[in-house]
Amino acid sequence: PLIAPNAICSGSYGQLWHWQVRQQSFDDVTFLQTVGNEMRPYLPRCLNLKTLRIDGFEVDCTLPTLQDLDQLTSVSAFRGGRLNIAGLAGCEALITILLENVGEIAGLDIVWTLPSLRELNLADRSRSEDRMRVRRVTGRMDRARADTTGKLSVRPVDLGTISGPGVLELLNLRGRELPSIRPLLVLTKLVTLDLGDTALSDIAGIDELSELEKLAIDHNLVTDITPLLDLPALKEVWLN
């Protein structure tokens, strides 16, 4: 489980792994990969941690208070149940937060207080994966039939109150329910925005994101795309 002098990778190693962790000095750990809450007691001791990755947790996972980790620049989580990230409050060095295919995300209010955050990815790709399964089974995309199974429902996300533009350059909400883009229009530093598969129907006002270069609004209900004509920096658009 100790794959390098400055890395810890946890997993189902039983008592042997727990013994090794207790013996481990955390002073030089810069990368940590864990499953759910397994490393929760040790995280605040990794004072030089730069990258934290959480994989495949099925139960609730809550991050401890990590504001003393002043070198933490990247946090990612994949394929989990409910994740509470409120413990990231005060992590002023954080540049990237990637929470992909996480069922429910709590504590998102704090991301708008992180002064260095440039990339926020909250994509839920399980919906598109279900589409692919339907195609394999039926040989075609029978949308009406698939929707009746409940498998293709969009997961909601509570972004909290977006307090200001900050320095956020990339926002990915693919597969998350977004009734309106209005709350996002204060993020005027955005360069890349992925709103694919969010049940979005209206993009009026998007011209306020004047630095936007890449935009995805595919698999939505948008019928009027004329607001895109007022985005001077726009280079790439996904509309299918």
Q: What is the mean pLDDT of each run of 10 residues along the chain (240 residues)?
A: 54 44 70 82 89 84 93 93 94 97 92 96 78 52 44 74 90 94 95 96 96 97 95 95
Length of the chain: 240
Per-residue model confidence (pLDDT) at position 68? 95
Residues 78-130: tens digit of each pLDDT: 988 889 999 999 999 999 999 999 988 999 999 999 999 999 999 998 766 55
CB atoms within 10 A of CB 36: 20
| Residue 158 near residue 178, CB atoms below 8 Å | no
| Residue 66 near residue 86, CB atoms below 8 Å | no
Per-residue model confidence (pLDDT) at position 148? 38
Per-residue model confidence (pLDDT) at position 8? 63
| Residue 227 near residue 203, CB atoms below 8 Å | yes
SS3 133: helix
Per-residue model confidence (pLDDT) at position 174? 96
Per-residue model confidence (pLDDT) at position 57? 76
User: Mind giving me the DSSP string for 141-191?
Assistant: --HHHHHHTTTTPPEE---------TT--EEE-TTEE-S-SGGGGG-TT-S
CA distances from 88 to 12, 46, 81, 134, 141 (A): 26, 14, 18, 38, 40
pTM, whole model, 2 decimals? 0.84
Per-residue model confidence (pLDDT) at position 45? 87
Catalogue the long-range contacts made by 51-55 (C-beta closer than 8 Å, 24 or more residues apart).
51/75, 51/76, 52/76, 53/77, 53/78, 54/78, 54/80, 54/83, 55/79, 55/80
Q: Which amino acid is at 71?
A: Q
Per-residue model confidence (pLDDT) at position 9? 63
